[in-house]
């Protein structure tokens, strides 16, 4: 857990991260970690005199279980859950449906054979309850880029489909921050790559679309990129996109 910028705290662990944005109109989360992260979130909120029920909204970058683990819990506590309409069926059917609604292009097996240590990533997700979270049928959805006026900070949803059909980044113009989810990461748990990159085909639904989405990401006027996996990137979105293109997708 660390403060990556004034008013923005990264929660989770070295494998999967999510973010708390401390807005004057109420705290919001970008992604919802894993069920095993509940105690960490509750303890941090308690330190500022709040509880789960004080979370106003949860902005999901996509429907994979390492990003949605606490969404059902937070929804039950009163938070609005936002997600692109293409990934909403994953929430409605439960975390185990992610492989059906957003089937990866490749099996994980070749990656695990080349890099056996990578087995730690899926095992960690399982140990932290990644495949046991509850279903959510009532969510707020969008289908294209738009400003979310009902959310504190009025973030802009920037659709970057590819990793999943509904992958979305969230831009907070006043903070200069772009939360990229898994549309661009700085660490790939299967390949071990460090630095701006696309998630490998073992976890990506449409790599061609993911590569194309880098053009859209590069246009966002942000000065700090906060990915779902890996360290913050303090260069421009254009620089991050250029590095990701050079790295390619494995």
Give 7-27 pLDDT, tens digit per residue: 999 999 999 999 999 999 999
CA dihedral (93, 162, 156, 18) positive or negative: positive
Q: Are 178 and 225 in contact (CB under 8 A)?
A: yes
Give 113-154 pLDDT, tens digit per residue: 999 999 999 999 999 999 999 999 899 999 999 999 999 999
List the domain boundaries for the chain.
2-247
Task: For residue 10, give the nearest of 226, 171, 173, 177 by alpha carbon.
Answer: 226
Rounded to 10°, the helix 207-218/237-247 angle is: 150
pTM given for the model: 0.97
Kindly list the strands in the beta sheet with 177-181, ordered across the sheet, starting from the edge strand earlier in the chain.
146-147, 156-159, 168-172, 177-181, 224-227
What secondary structure letter does DSSP report for 49?
T
Q: Which fold has domain 2-247?
A: Metallo-beta-lactamase; Chain A (3.60.15)
Neighbour tally for 22: CB within 10 Å: 15
Give 187-234 pLDDT, tens digit per residue: 999 999 999 999 999 999 999 999 999 999 999 999 999 999 999 999
């Amino acid at each position: 857990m660390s403060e990556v910028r004034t008013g923005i705290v990264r929660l989770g662990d070295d494998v999967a991260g999510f973010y708390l944005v401390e807005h004057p109109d109420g705290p919001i989360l970008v992604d919802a970690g894993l069920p095993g992260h509940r105690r960490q979130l509750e303890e941090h909120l308690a330190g500022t005199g709040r509880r789960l029920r004080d979370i106003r909204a949860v902005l999901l970058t996509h429907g994979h279980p390492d990003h949605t683990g606490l969404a059902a819990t937070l929804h039950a506590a009163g938070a609005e859950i936002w997600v692109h309409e293409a990934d909403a069926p994953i929430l409605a059917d439960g975390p185990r449906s992610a492989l059906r609604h957003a089937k990866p292009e490749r099996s994980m097996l070749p990656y695990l054979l080349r890099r056996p240590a990578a087995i730690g990533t899926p095992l960690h997700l399982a140990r932290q309850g990644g495949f046991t979270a509850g279903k959510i049928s009532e969510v707020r959805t969008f289908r294209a880029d738009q400003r979310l006026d009902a959310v504190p900070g009025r973030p802009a949803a920037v659709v970057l489909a590819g990793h999943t059909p509904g992958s979305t980044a969230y831009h907070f113009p006043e903070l200069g921050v772009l939360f990229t989810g898994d549309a661009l990461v700085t660490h790939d748990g299967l390949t071990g790559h460090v630095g701006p990159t696309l998630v490998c085909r073992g976890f990506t639904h449409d790599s061609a679309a993911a590569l194309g989405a880098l053009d859209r990401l590069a246009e966002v006027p942000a000065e700090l990129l906060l990915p779902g996996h890996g360290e913050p990137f303090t260069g421009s979105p254009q620089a991050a996109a250029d590095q990701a293109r050079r790295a390619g997708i494995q």
